Amino acid sequence: MNPNVIEVDEQSFEKDVIERSRSVPVVVDFWAPWCGPCRTLGPLLERLAAEYHGQFVLAKVNVDLNPLLAQAFRVQSIPMVVALRNGQVVSHFVGAVPESAVREFLARLLPSNAEQLAAQGMARLAAGKLAEAQRCFEQALEQDANCAAAQVGLAKVHLQRGEKEAARALLERVVSGPYQNEAERLLAELRLQEASGEEDALRRRLTANANDLEARLELGRLLAAQKRYEEALELLLEVVRRDRNFRDQAARKAMVDIFHVLGNGHPLVEHYRSELAKVLFA
C-alpha cells in the first residue's frame, strides 16, 4: 500500500487534505465506482504518486459516499482532479486526460528548484545553522528572485544577526501568497521595535497631563516593543478614543501591528479589535 495514496471522507478532509497541503501538495481525485473514465485515471494517478516518492499526496474521494464534499467543490462531472497547496486550491482538471497532461499538471503543482532550496534553508534555519541557511536562500533567489519562501527565510537570517534594514527590504517584497502573513508579522515586529523613550519619564508626563497624546502613544509603543501587549493596547486605544487621527492614525496602526504579531484567535486580538471597531465606527 502506497502511504502517499489515501482515502478521505467528509470527516477527515480538513486534516488529511487542507492541513496536510500546508506541508506537501495534495491532489484530490473525485471519483465513483460506476465511472468508467475513473477506472482509467485513478490507477494512473496512483502510479504517479508512487513514482514521485512523496512529492505529492493523492487523496481519493468517492463522491457517492461524500456528497457534501462534491457539492463544496462543485463537482459536476467525474473524474475531477483538484490540486491544493498551502490550504488553497491552485488548479484542477476534469476527465481522463492523457498521462502527458497529468505530468504537466503535476509539474506546475510541485515545488520548483528554488522552493526546494528554500525549504532546505528553512530546515537549516530551524537547526540554528545560519550560514548554511543563508546559502540555500541566496541560491534559491538566484534561481527565482521572487521566491517568497527564500525572501522570508533570508530576512529571518538577517533578523537573527540584527540586520534589520536588510530584513525589511526583503520582507517588503512579499506582497501576496502563502508567505504574506509571515512577512507582515515580521514587518510589524520591526515597526514596534522602533519605539523610543524612557518609561518612567513618559508616565510622569501622563500623570501631569492625561491628555498628552504624544506621551500616551509613545508609552504604548514602548510597552509593545517590550511585549507588554495588553497595557500597550489599552494605552493606544485611549489615544484613538481621544483623537483617532493623531499623528496620522499612529495609535491605530500600532494596534494593528500588535494584532499581526499576536495573530488571529489570540484573546487580546479578539477583544481589542472589537473595541477598536466600536471607536472607529461609533
Mean of pLDDT values over 240-262: 96
Residue type, 205: R
CB count within 10 Å of CB 214 equals 15
Q: Summarize pLDDT for 51-71 with one digit per residue, the tens.
A: 988 889 999 999 999 999 999
β-bridge pairing 57-62 and 26-31? parallel
**Nearest to 151, CA basis, from 189, 193, 187:** 187
Mean of pLDDT values over 206-233: 96
The residue to which cell 522552493 is assigned: 115
**Is residue 1 scored above 80 in pLDDT?**
no
What is the C-alpha to C-alpha distance for residues 191 and 91, in angstroms, rounded to an integer? 37
Three-state SS sequence of 162-196? CCHHHHHHHHCCCCCCCCHHHHHHHHHHHHHCCCC
- Residues serving a catalytic function are 35, 38
What CATH class does 5-109 carry?
alpha beta
Domain ranges of the chain: 5-109, 113-190, 199-280
Multiple choice CATH, 113-190, 1.10.238.10, 2.40.160.60, 1.25.40.10, 1.20.200.10: 1.25.40.10
**Is residue 282 scored above 80 in pLDDT?**
no
Phi, psi of 28 (to 5 degrees): -105, 125
Q: CB-based burial of residue 157 (10 Å sphere; 0-12 exposed, 13-18 middle, 19+ buried)?
A: buried
**Is residue 132 scored above 80 in pLDDT?**
yes
CATH superfamily ID and name for 199-280: Tetratricopeptide repeat domain (1.25.40.10)
